[in-house]
Copies of this chain bind each other. A is one copy, B any other.
Amino acid sequence: MSASKRKLRYGMVGGGRGAFIGAVHRCAAYIDGQADLVAGAFSSEAERAKASAEDLFVAPNRAYGSYKEMAEKEAKLPAGERLDFVSIVTPNHQHFPPAKLFLEKGFNVVLEKPATFDLAEAKALKKIVEKTGKVLVLTHNYTGNVMVKQARELVRSGHLGDIRKVVAEYPQGWLSTLAEKGDNKQAGWRTDPKRSGAAGCIGDIGTHAENLARYITGLEIDSLCADLTTFVKGRKLDDDGNILVRYKGGAKGLLHASQISVGEENALNIRVYGTKAGIEWHQEHPNQLIVKYPDKPTEIWGRGNGYISDGLKKFTRTPSGHPEGYLEAFANVYAEAFRAIRAEVSGKKQPKDLDFPTIADGVYGMAFIETTVKSSKLGAKWLKFPKL
């Protein structure tokens, strides 16, 4: 049956019981009834892998003990049963190996951010994507929010004039103590340089702020000066970072992220100021976009209204005033992924208007992490952003 006439089939690597982001991916993939989870290598622990498969109604014969087994066996299934794509939701150090393998075995891939463990891996992965011609979607989910997309439209259409200043911030408070010493699985791997990579806070959430700023403004970083800190004694990676940014073309920016900003939940915010207008968006109140002017009242643009750009209306599921949230934005990334994957598995050309983060964004993000960490280690010295 044509991929446009049926639900897509996917498998998951990671995301077993107790995981956070795996459940988010599943909700995002499920919500529109466009895909079914039919296989998984949910955990390296056999017991947990099995239990997870039961929870998720995955048939025992497609609940694998490892992603390698899954890649091998699924690759041999007939076309009518074979997975259309794989979602990889493991910790960072386990992104590249399965992504490489599944791409090379002919599967499309949805990959949790940050793309890889380090920049070299990201560049290698980019080459593999190009070589295999498969779809790779990186889930920088915040760019799936329709009001973020509207913000980008306002920038692109010249509503803001020339961009002068960008303030991107992402304060959280959940790592204000040494949570990794206890049984907090999330805290454990995210603060472990062997699993997380060169950066803690900056890799985990700073990259979201970077991605959001670049998505909305289109600006590229010329140079940056980063002052990363590990506030909690005994922690191995940064848990806070303050970064000055100079963009190509003359705009200036501030980007700060923190996991010790006690009492903050998930306060990703961005403000962009141009010559004509400014915008402000708060992830915790994602249905509104604030637009400010020099000489007229501040406007609150609300998701779902008639004045939202026509091309963006497909990214909204409920009428105005019926709030959408984190999962719906995440699901918008999946919805675009589905368009690309349906085209790929049907042997059609990719649509030209696809709107999701790619491995190129992943490479950029890894370069951001590396440059930031290097700047900080040099005493918060200005560094040119590398050519990619």
User: Scoring A residues 286 to 318 as 1 if CB is less than 8 Å from chain B, else 0, what string do you get?
Assistant: 110001111111111110111100000000011
User: Scoring A residues 147 to 177 as 1 if CB is less than 8 Å from chain B, else 0, what string do you get?
Assistant: 0000000000000000011010101111011
Check A194 for interface membership: any CB of B closer than 8 A.
no
Q: B380 touching A225 by the CB < 8 A rule?
A: yes
Given A165-B261, A173-B292, A225-B380, is A321 in contact with B266 using a C-beta cutoff of 8 Å?
yes
Cβ contact of A225, chosen from B54, B225, B229, B283, cutoff 8 A: B225
Q: How far is the CA of A229 from the CA of B278 in the complex (A)?
A: 18
Q: Would you call the interface of chain A mostly helix, strand, loop, or mixed?
A: loop
In the assembled complex, the CB of A269 is this many whole angstroms from the nearest CB of chain B, namely: 11
Q: B300 touching A176 by the CB < 8 A rule?
A: no
Q: How many copies of this chain are found per oligomer?
A: 4
Stretch of A23-31, A69-77, A350-358 lying at the B interface: A23-31
User: Which residues of chain B are near A348, meaning CB under 8 Å?
Assistant: none
Q: How far is the CA of A229 from the CA of B245 in the complex (A)?
A: 12
Q: How far is the CA of A207 from the CA of B227 in the complex (A)?
A: 22
Q: A278 touching B321 by the CB < 8 A rule?
A: no
Q: Which of A227-257 contact B (CB under 8 A)?
A: 227, 229, 231, 240, 242, 244, 246, 252-254, 256
| Shortest Cβ distance from A302 into B: residue | B265
Q: How far is the CA of A320 from the CA of B283 in the complex (A)?
A: 12
User: Which residues of chain B are near A306, meaning CB under 8 Å?
Assistant: 295
Check A262 for interface membership: any CB of B closer than 8 A.
yes
Q: How far is the CA of A31 from the CA of B35 in the complex (A)?
A: 11
Q: Which of A6-62 contact B (CB under 8 A)?
A: 6-7, 20, 23-24, 26-27, 30-33, 37, 54, 56-57
Check A382 for interface membership: any CB of B closer than 8 A.
yes
User: Which residues of chain B are near A80, meaning CB under 8 Å?
Assistant: none
Check A258 for interface membership: any CB of B closer than 8 A.
yes
Stretch of A116-124, A325-333, A339-347 lying at the B interface: A325-333
User: Which residues of chain B are near A284, meaning CB under 8 Å?
Assistant: 287, 321, 323
Check A324 for interface membership: any CB of B closer than 8 A.
yes
| Shortest Cβ distance from A186 into B: residue | B319
Q: B295 touching A307 by the CB < 8 A rule?
A: yes
Check A379 for interface membership: any CB of B closer than 8 A.
yes
Cβ contact of A33, chosen from B26, B177, B261, B327, cutoff 8 A: B26
Given A297-B300, A326-B324, A327-B324, is A256 in contact with B254 using a C-beta cutoff of 8 Å?
yes
Cβ contact of A327, chosen from B293, B318, B379, cutoff 8 A: B318
Can you list 11 contacts pairing A with B, beta carbon distance less than 8 Å? A5-B54, A165-B260, A167-B169, A172-B321, A173-B292, A227-B252, A242-B253, A262-B275, A263-B293, A263-B298, A297-B301
3 pairs of A and B residues whose beta carbons are closest in the complex: A263-B292, A265-B321, A266-B321
Query: A residues near B, CB below 8 A?
Result: 5-7, 20, 23-24, 26-27, 30-33, 37, 54, 56-57, 164-165, 167, 169, 171-174, 176-177, 225, 227, 229, 231, 240, 242, 244, 246, 252-254, 256, 258, 260-267, 271, 273-278, 283-287, 291-302, 304-307, 317-328, 379-380, 382
